[in-house]
Structure formats: structure tokens, C-alpha cells
Amino acid sequence: MLTCQKPLFSLPEAIHYLNGASMSPLLKSVEEAGIQGLLRKSQPHTIHQEDYFTDVDRVRQLFGQLVHVPYERVAIIPSVSYGMAIVAKNLNARPGQHILLVADEFPSDVYAWEEVCQTQAISLKTINRTGDGKSWNEAVLNAISEETALLMIAPIHWSDGTRFDIEALSKRCRETGTRFVLDGTQAVGALPLDLTEVSVDALIVGGYKWLLGTYGMGLAYFGPAFDEGRSIEQSWINRKGSDNFRLLMAYTTEFRPGASRYSMGEQSNFIQIPMLATALEQILAWTPEAVQAYSEALVRPHVPHWQELGFWIEAEAYRSSHLFGLRHEGLDMNRLRTELERHQVYISTRGTTLRIATHVYNEAADLEALTEALSASL
């Protein structure tokens, strides 16, 4: 079992930060990697041709280890919306088919399909929450058919941590010929995900939450369905032979192997790439399994008290411990805000849900402060 890792972060002692689902703090080691990268940019004569590729490939390898895929299938992206745009650009649906989503999905996972729905004469179909997590899972599974061109879902819902059975969903998508895409932004890094056990066509992950990286840098896995696909950008660095700067004028229509064609331009960010590599190295040293177990140990003792106070929380089998939601019909949000500020507790509100996010920088005192604030607000 991991012990509290707060000394590795720069969080002030007095605050109770339970909002990593919004934006994670940086590890001190990641801060230092960024500082060194900034100083390196001040000395451009120290940056060599191979440096445009070495650290990028290191990040791809580390992410490949994290989700158990070959690094050649990993692309560097700036955002989730960028990754979803790649999926949309390479979706070939039949007129009358639909894209399947769950209700209250993150906006980037909804807006991505507007244009493709218009151009290919397909529609969006949304599965509303029906009771508890078990019934919601069943509703999604039953909605997948041969008319489902694409299922886009997250392993856990971004607003309240409801878990979806991605193994069952993947199996059903294979049966119906449905393209299966995951938004792993609120899961990968804190929740185990092995893509050798779950077949997905694409996995899109923002890097500034559970990957402990920077804003504006993310990662994506693209499976065989995307091997000959169309990229968003026509970047020089993604083309075959781009590692030989002397021959860059020998233009080519061929791409570098694997998912490189989908990586963003200026992917060789000499500040952010080393930061992301350092963060991924630490996550792999901890392991997502240990991060989840640590969060579970923090959260479990408080669940009965929250329930006694009248808060709804998803059943244990259908919630994560690093991100979960609390709801209360009688909660005065203004009073809650006052109590959270008084106790120096940081969480998010998404719709009618209080979204709580725990990580290895949290300790028992953080959950105790949250419980005190919740109790006082009632």
C-alpha cells in the first residue's frame, strides 16, 4: 500500500485539495523538468536534430507501458477535442446510423460529432441515466446495435465517477461492428486500463489531470482501424524521413510509422514533453492499481457518514474511488461554498453533483475536512 506522497508535490499544508479531476497539481520533479526545459530553450545551440524525436518517443513508450499498447500506436495531441476530431474525420458511417453517447457527457465529446452528423446524415443518440449505475450500464449495452456507427464513452463518467463496464461494451461493439472509442482523461493514470484485455479503436487522454502533466498536452492510442486514416494537420515532422533535416525538401506523401501521422505539429515541445515524461515515470512507479487502492482506503471510512447526512453516492461496484460524486436535495449551495472556503476544501460542482477527486497527495485530514464542511453546510 502506498503512503501519502504529498511531500512530492508543492501543495500548501493548510489546504485540502480534492479537485484533481479539474486540474492536478504538479510533482516537484515535473516542475524541475519544466524549469530545465525552459533553460534549455534559452540555449538553443544545445538542441540537436535527434532531440526533436528522442523525448517524444520516450513519452510514447511510457504511455504505451501504462495502457499496454505498442508505442508506435501512440500520438501526441494538444487536447481531447483534437483527438476526437481525428476520430470524427475518419468515421465512415452509413446514412441513418447513429453515434451513441451517455447523458451529460463532457462537451468536447459531444461537439466533436456535429459536423460528421451533418455530412454523413447520421444522428446522435443519448442514453440517459436510469436509476443506479447498474441500470445505466445495462441501458447503454442494450442500445448498441448494427445501426450504432460509434460508441464514445469514458471508463468513468466525468461528473460523478459512475463506472462503465468497458469490457462488456467492447465485446458488444465487436459483435455489431461498432467503432469503440474511450475518453480516458478522468481514468488513465489513476485507474488500471489494459488495452490487451479491452479492445478499443481509440483512446483519447488529456494530460493535465490524472497523468499529472501540463495543460495543452495529451496522448492518444489509435488502433488498426486508423492505420491509413487522415490526419488533422499536415505537419512536416510526421512524414517519413523527417528525422533527416538535410533532406526535408524531398517532399513525400508517406508518413512515419504507426500513429505518428496523428501527432500535432510542434510535438517536440522542449518544455512540456520532458515534464510529461517525468510525470509518466512516476505514475508507472506507483502504478494505477496502487493509486486506486490508496484512494479507496481514504474514502471508504467516510462513506457511511456521508450517507447518514443524506448524501447520495453511487454503489461501490459502480463507482471509482479517485473520482466520485455526492448529491443532496436539501443542500444550500451558498452555505456549502462558505463552509468549503472556511475549511479550505477544494472540490468541483458539476450540475447538481459535488465532484470529489482524491489522489496520493491527499491524506485522512483532507477527507475529514470535507466531511466537516458538508456537515456544517447542512
Q: What is the CATH number of the domain that holds 267?
A: 3.40.640.10
Distance CA 221, CA 240 (A): 20
Vertex 237: Cα angle to 182 and 275 (nearest 5): 60
Q: Are residues 154 and 272 in the same domain?
A: yes
| Domain hosting residue 277, numbered range | 34-284
Q: Are residues 340 and 206 in the same domain?
A: no
Whether residue 258 contacts residue 63, with contact meaning beta carbons closer than 8 Å, is answered with no
- Answer yes or no: is pLDDT of 291 > 90: yes
Q: Are residues 152 and 42 in the same domain?
A: yes
Q: Are residues 242 and 307 in the same domain?
A: no
Q: Taking Cα atoms as reference points, which of 73, 344, 352 lies closest to residue 203?
A: 73
Q: What is the CATH number of the domain that holds 17?
A: 3.90.1150.10
Global pTM value: 0.96
Find the mean pLDDT for residues 305-322. 95
**Burial status of residue 27 (CB atoms within 10 A of its CB: 0-12, 13-18, 19 or more):** buried
Q: Which of 227, 261, 284 is the last residue of a domain?
A: 284
Contacts of 25 (CB under 8 A, 6+ apart): 9, 10, 11, 17, 212, 361
pLDDT tier, 352 (very low <50, low <70, confident <90, very high otherwise): confident
In a domain, 187, yes or no: yes
Distance CA 161, CA 295 (A): 13
- Answer yes or no: is pLDDT of 149 > 90: yes
At 180 the pLDDT is 98
Q: Are residues 254 and 329 in the same domain?
A: no
Q: Are residues 299 and 235 in the same domain?
A: no
Mean pLDDT lowest for which of 196-200, 250-254, 301-305? 250-254
Q: Are residues 298 and 190 in the same domain?
A: no
- Answer yes or no: is pLDDT of 281 > 90: yes
**Burial status of residue 315 (CB atoms within 10 A of its CB: 0-12, 13-18, 19 or more):** exposed
Whether residue 359 contacts residue 8, with contact meaning beta carbons closer than 8 Å, is answered with no
In a domain, 1, yes or no: no
Q: Which of 284, 318, 348 is the last residue of a domain?
A: 284
Q: Are residues 250 and 277 in the same domain?
A: yes
Mean pLDDT lowest for which of 164-178, 217-231, 240-254? 240-254
- Which residues face 325 on adjacent strands? 355
Q: Are residues 196 and 152 in the same domain?
A: yes
Q: Are residues 77 and 65 in the same domain?
A: yes
Q: Are residues 267 and 325 in the same domain?
A: no
Q: Are residues 20 and 66 in the same domain?
A: no
- Answer yes or no: is pLDDT of 244 > 90: no
Report the domain count for the chain.
2
In a domain, 97, yes or no: yes
Find the mean pLDDT for residues 88-94. 96
